[in-house]
């Protein structure tokens, strides 16, 4: 006999957060990240007409909010974007659903007005200003909250309505410069039991104050993947910006950043590896250089995002770990001298228990 799932699916009206229904869900999978959208998928079984009627009323892609609870804690929140009614050869009927974290809403909101910071403004305040723009429009308020903390980094920005930019892209670009920041929208219940969607900002990174959890392999770590990838590595970089239309008599050409070089890499024996990026709405040379410098720093580091799979019955893992540090201790043939290092959790995926398979978590890591 299959044990009851520890997870509970709440379906709510997206704008008011009024509960519409709570339905069972099978084949559940969820993840959440810093720096990119998280997702949730599952299948709502339809065993009878009553459940079918309830599902039809509550499952409305684009206007239904999804909260996933584990026991008394909220583990995930987001927006239902797609649903597919599926009937198999055995007559089993279900609704396959897919949802994205709250930040995916900002990919569906476009800046239709020109916004300008008239004086140097803290970069966190620029983000909050963009969120206010979204939530102050009729139908746009999803109840996303934020604090008033500042980063100490001042920026000047002009966002033109003629570019028709997605608000999410503007926030991502603002954070992707030297001295930038990370952001996400966290889901949780506060001390009063209220469901909360809260903008988190951190410069240069989001960090939470949880004490390090020690994870061992062999031990609670049941598997791991450790990529070593140089396909995106670069030690020279130039970024291309907006087209310069100031001289009407000359051909319009894009602005170019200063060529950024990491001469130390070549001195240490690396070959010259070039990279580039496009920022078609960026006209300010200082901002364009800031993008190029940040892109070069990321490209020099290469793509190394280790992933470890943890048996949740043997380690205290939850979404609250996102932004926290863990201490990994791995000893095997690849690490004959035990790896003992600290890593920051930048993403987490959960696989619920199923038919004797223990509940597990995948932690996506970067050096702390």
Asked whether the predicted pLDDT for residue 19 surpasses 70, the reply is: yes
Specify the CATH superfamily of domain 7-102: Baseplate protein-like domain - beta roll fold (2.30.300.10)
CA dihedral 146, 152, 153, 154 (to 10 degrees): 90
pLDDT given for residue 247 in this prediction: 62
pLDDT given for residue 358 in this prediction: 85
C-alpha–C-alpha distance, residues 237 and 81, integer Å: 37
Q: What is the mean pLDDT of residues 224-233?
A: 90
- The CATH class of the 109-200 domain is alpha beta
What is the fold of 213-228+304-367? PUA domain-like fold (2.40.450)
How many percent of the chain have pLDDT more than 70? 97
Helices in 184-310 by DSSP H: which ranges? 263-267, 285-301
Asked whether the predicted pLDDT for residue 286 surpasses 60, the reply is: yes
Q: What is the mean pLDDT of residues 69-83?
A: 95
Q: Do the strands 121-122 and 115-116 form a parallel or antiparallel pair, or are they unpaired?
A: unpaired
Helices in the chain by DSSP H: which ranges? 49-58, 123-135, 167-175, 263-267, 285-301
Average pLDDT over the chain, rounded to whole?
93
* Chain segment 87-140, per-residue pLDDT in tens: 988 889 999 999 999 999 999 999 999 999 989 999 999 999 999 999 999 999
Asked whether the predicted pLDDT for residue 187 surpasses 50, the reply is: yes
pLDDT given for residue 169 in this prediction: 96
Whole-prediction pTM: 0.90
pLDDT given for residue 3 in this prediction: 56
Asked whether the predicted pLDDT for residue 164 surpasses 90, the reply is: yes
pLDDT given for residue 304 in this prediction: 75
- Structure tokens that stand for 30 in this block: 């969820």
pLDDT given for residue 1 in this prediction: 43
Backbone torsion region of residue 300, taken as left when φ is above 0, otherwise alpha when ψ lies between -120 and 50, otherwise beta:
alpha
Q: Where are the domains of the chain?
A: 7-102, 109-200, 213-228+304-367, 236-300
* Chain segment 295-308, per-residue pLDDT in tens: 999 898 876 789 99
Asked whether the predicted pLDDT for residue 6 surpasses 90, the reply is: no
C-alpha–C-alpha distance, residues 198 and 22, integer Å: 23
pLDDT given for residue 209 in this prediction: 77
Q: Which residues contact 108 (CB under 8 A, 6 or more apart)?
A: 166
CA 138 to chain centre: 26
Asked whether the predicted pLDDT for residue 213 surpasses 80, the reply is: yes
pLDDT given for residue 355 in this prediction: 73
Q: What is the mean pLDDT of residues 223-235?
A: 92
CA dihedral 175, 203, 291, 281 (to 10 degrees): 20
CA 65 to chain centre: 17
């Amino acid at each position: 006999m299959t044990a009851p799932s520890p997870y509970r699916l709440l379906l709510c009206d997206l704008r008011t957060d009024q509960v519409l229904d709570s339905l069972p869900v099978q084949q559940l999978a969820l993840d959440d990240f810093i720096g990119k959208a998280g997702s949730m998928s599952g299948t709502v079984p339809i065993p009878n007409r009553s459940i079918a009627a309830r599902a039809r009323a509550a499952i409305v892609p684009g206007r239904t909010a999804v909260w996933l609870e584990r026991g008394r804690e909220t583990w995930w929140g987001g927006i239902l974007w797609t649903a597919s009614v599926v009937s198999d050869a055995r007559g089993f009927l279900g609704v396959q659903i897919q949802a994205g974290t709250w930040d995916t809403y900002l990919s569906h909101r476009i800046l239709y007005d020109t916004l300008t910071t008239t004086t140097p403004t803290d970069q966190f305040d620029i983000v909050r200003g963009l969120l206010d723009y979204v939530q102050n429009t009729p139908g746009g308020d999803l109840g996303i909250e934020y604090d008033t903390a500042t980063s100490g980094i001042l920026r000047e920005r002009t966002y033109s309505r003629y570019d028709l930019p997605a608000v999410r892209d503007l926030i991502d670009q603002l954070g992707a410069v030297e001295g930038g920041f990370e952001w996400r929208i966290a889901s949780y219940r506060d001390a009063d039991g209220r469901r909360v969607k809260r903008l988190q900002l951190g410069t240069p990174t989001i960090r939470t104050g949880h004490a390090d959890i020690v994870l061992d392999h062999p031990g609670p770590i049941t598997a791991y993947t450790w990529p070593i990838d140089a396909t995106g590595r670069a030690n020279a970089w130039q970024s291309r910006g907006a087209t310069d239309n100031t001289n009407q008599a000359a051909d319009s050409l894009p602005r170019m950043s200063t060529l950024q070089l990491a001469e130390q890499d070549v001195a240490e024996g690396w070959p010259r590896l070039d990279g580039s990026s496009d920022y078609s709405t960026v006209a300010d040379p200082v901002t364009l250089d800031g993008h190029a410098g940040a892109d070069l720093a990321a490209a020099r580091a290469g793509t190394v995002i280790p992933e470890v799979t943890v048996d949740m019955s043997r380690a205290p893992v939850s979404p609250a770990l996102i932004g926290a540090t863990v201490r990994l201790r791995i000893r095997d043939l690849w690490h004959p001298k035990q790896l003992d290092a600290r890593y920051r959790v930048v993403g987490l995926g959960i696989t619920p228990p199923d038919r004797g398979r223990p509940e597990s978590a995948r932690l996506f890591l970067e050096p702390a």
